[in-house]
Amino acid sequence: MENLRILFLNTWGGNVPGYFDWIEEHGAEADVLCLSEVHNGYGPESVDLIRRVNNRRGPVQVKQYQILSDLLRDTHQGYFAEAYRGLHDCESADTVPQGLAMFIRRELRSYGISSTLLNREYDGIHTPGAESGSRVIQSSFILPQDTDPILLCSLHGLWTPGGKVDTESRHIQNDSILDHLCRRGSEPFSPLKGSARVILGGDFNYTSAMAAFSRIKHWIYWGSGGAKVLNEQVPDGFNTRTELYDPDKPSLEADMVFTGRAIDAQLTVDRSVPSDHAALFVDVAL
Using pLDDT thresholds of 50, 70 and 90, give the confidence band for residue 15: confident
Query: Which residues 6+ apart lie within 8 Å of 97 measured at CB?
Result: 39, 40, 41, 80, 82, 83, 84, 85
Mean predicted confidence (pLDDT) in 125-153: 86
Contacts of 84 (CB under 8 A, 6+ apart): 97, 98, 99, 122, 123, 124, 125, 126, 132, 133, 134
**Best-predicted range by mean pLDDT among 6-10, 38-42, 80-84, 126-130?**
6-10
DSSP for 181-246 reads HHHHHTSTT-S--SSTTEEEEEE----TTSHHHHHHHT-GGG-TT--EEGGGGSTTTT--B-TTS-
The pLDDT of residue 226 is above 90: yes
pLDDT tens, residue by residue, 97-114: 889 999 999 999 999 999
Judged by average pLDDT, the poorest of 5-14, 85-94, 165-174, 240-249 is 85-94
